[in-house]
Amino acid sequence: MGNAAVSLQKYVDLEEQIRKLNAIGIALSSERDLGKLLELIATEARAFTNADGCSLYIKDEEKLNFAVAQTESLQKRDGKREPFKSFSLPLTKESIAGYVAVTGEVLNIEDVYTIPANIEYRVNKQFDKNNNYRSKSMLAVPMRDNAGEIIGVLQLINSLDCSDHIIPFNPELESIILSLASQAAVAIRNVKLIEDIKNLFRSLVRYSIKAIDARSPHTAGHSGRVAKYCVRMAHAINEEPEGRLGQIKFSAQEIEELRMAGWLHDIGKIGVRESILEKTNKLTANQIEVISERFEGIKNQVNARFIEKKFEALFENKSVPDSLDIERRQAIAEIDEALNFIKRVNIPGHLKEEDRIHLKKTAEKTYLNSKGEKRTYLNPKEYESLSIIRGNLTPSEYEEMQSHVLQTIGILDKIPFTKELQNIPQYAAGHHEYLDGTGYPRGLKGDEISIQSRIMCIADIYDALSSTDRPYKKALPIEETVNILRNEVKAGKLDGDIVEMFIRRKLYQKTSFQEDED
Ligand SMILES: [Fe+2]
Ligand SMILES: [Fe+2]
Give the pLDDT confidence of 322-381 residue by residue, as tens digits.
Answer: 888 898 899 999 999 999 999 998 888 788 888 889 999 999 999 888 788 889 999 999
d(CA 401, CA 276): 7
410 Cβ contact partners less than 8 Å away, ≥ 6 residues apart: 268
Q: Which has the higher per-residue pLDDT, 108 or 280?
A: 108
In whole angstroms, give the CA distance from residue 179 to residue 144.
Answer: 9
Indicate which ligand has the atom closest to the C-alpha of 263.
2
At 356, phi and psi to the nearest 5?
-65, -40
**pLDDT higher for 517 or 290?**
290
Mean pLDDT of 377-397: 87
**CB contact burial 113-147 (16+ within 10 A = b; e otherwise):** eebeeeeebebeeebbeeeebebbbbbbbbbbbee
pLDDT band at 482 (very low <50, low <70, confident <90, very high): very high
- Give the pLDDT band (50/70/90) at residue 210: very high
Q: How confident is the model at residue 515 (pLDDT cuts 50, 70, 90)?
A: very low
Ligand with smallest separation from the Cα of 225: 2
**pLDDT of 219:** 86
What pLDDT digit, counting tens, does each position of 158-179 carry? Answer: 999 989 999 999 998 898 899 8
Ion ligand 1 residue ranges (Cβ < 5 Å): 266
Q: Distance from the CA of 404 to the center of ligand 1, in angstroms? A: 7
Q: What is the pLDDT of residue 471?
A: 59
Which ligand approaches the C-alpha of residue 223 most closely?
2
Between 179-183, 278-282, 414-418, the lowest mean confidence (pLDDT) is in 278-282
Distance 403 CA to ligand 1 centre (A): 9
**Ligand 1 mean position to 338 CA, how many Å?**
37
Distance 64 CA to ligand 1 centre (A): 47
| Predicted confidence (pLDDT) at residue 517 exceeds the cutoff of 60 | no
* For the ranges 148-157, 319-328, 504-513, the one whose mean pLDDT is highest: 148-157
| % pLDDT > 70, the chain | 96
Residue 59's nearest CA partner among 185, 193, 199 is 185
Q: How many whole angstroms from 503 Cα to the centroid of ligand 1?
A: 22
Over the stretch 49-65, which tens digit does the pLDDT of each residue have?
Answer: 999 999 999 998 889 99
Comparing 11-15, 270-274, 437-441, 488-492, which segment has the lowest mean pLDDT?
A: 11-15
From the list 355, 359, 379, 356, the residue with the least C-alpha distance to 367 is 379
- Determine the Cα–Cα distance for residues 281 and 462; give it in Å rounded to an integer: 21
Q: How far apart are CA 188 and CA 33, in angstroms?
A: 9
CA distance 291 to 239: 57
- The ligand placed nearest to the CA atom of residue 209 is 2
364 CA → ligand 1 middle, Å: 37
Q: What are the tens digits of pLDDT across the range 233-258?
A: 999 999 999 999 999 999 999 999 99
Q: Report helix, strand or coil for 155.
A: strand
Which ligand has the shortest distance to the CA of 464? 2
Ligand nearest to the CA of 269: 1
What is the band of 476 on the pLDDT scale with cuts at 50, 70, 90?
Answer: confident
Within 10 Å of residue 395's Cβ, how many Cβ atoms? 9
Q: What is the distance between the alpha carbons of residues 169 and 54, in angstroms, rounded to a whole number?
A: 13
Q: Dihedrals φ, ψ of 73, to 5°?
A: -65, -35
How many CB atoms sit inside 10 A of residue 317's CB? 9
Per-residue pLDDT band for 405 (boundaries 50, 70, 90) equals: very high
Tell me the Ramachandran region of residue 493: left when phi exceeds 0, alpha when psi lies from -120 to 50, beta otherwise: alpha
Neighbours of 321 (CB within 10 A): 12
Higher-scoring residue by pLDDT: 8, 308: 308
Q: Are 149 and 189 in contact (CB under 8 A)?
A: no
Mean pLDDT computed over 68-86: 77
Helix axes 173-213, 34-49, angle to 10 degrees: 180
CA 423/CA 254 separation, integer angstroms:
9
For 172-189, what is the mean pLDDT?
89
- % pLDDT > 90, the chain: 56
pLDDT band at 33 (very low <50, low <70, confident <90, very high): confident
- Which ligand has the nearest atom to the CA of 405? 1
pLDDT score of 428 more than 60: yes
For the question of whether the overall pTM of this predicted structure is more than 0.85, the answer is no
